[in-house]
Amino acid sequence: MSRAKDLAKKNSLRIKRKKRVRGNIFGTAELPRVSFFKSNKYISAQAINDVEGKTLAAVNSQTMNLNVNKENAVKVAATFAETLKAAGIDTVVFDRNGYLYHGVVAAFADALRDNGIKL
């Protein structure tokens, strides 16, 4: 029973961080917001224009048959960078979605920078 409470507390704290971070981040067509999400199995990211509420580009590690680790986060970020460049986007605002900036999240962001996307 305490494991369920621990997971609920962990998720509620992430949601609080997410709301706090999202209050300061906003995406436009020229400067979209890159929303990062990770589960225990997969990573996904979207470039979002918040003015129109449209997704400009997206990537998911499930379609690439990759699980969640730093090396695969780099591969997913490289694919996402190509997708962003094809859409004409070279500068974005990074939304870590309430996750702490280390591990897979930091590897993804650094790989985006290494592939020519300015955060």
Which CATH number goes with the domain that contains 101? 3.30.420.100
- Residue-level pLDDT at 79: 97
CB 48 within 8 A of CB 37: no
- Residue-level pLDDT at 22: 83
Percent of the chain with pLDDT over 70: 99
Residue 1 has pLDDT above 80, yes or no: no
Q: What's the structural domain count of the chain?
A: 1
Q: Which structural domain range is residue 104 located in?
A: 3-115
Number of neighbours of residue 25 by Cβ within 10 angstroms? 14
Reported as a single tens digit per residue, the pLDDT across 21-54 is: 888 888 888 899 999 999 999 999 999 999 999 9
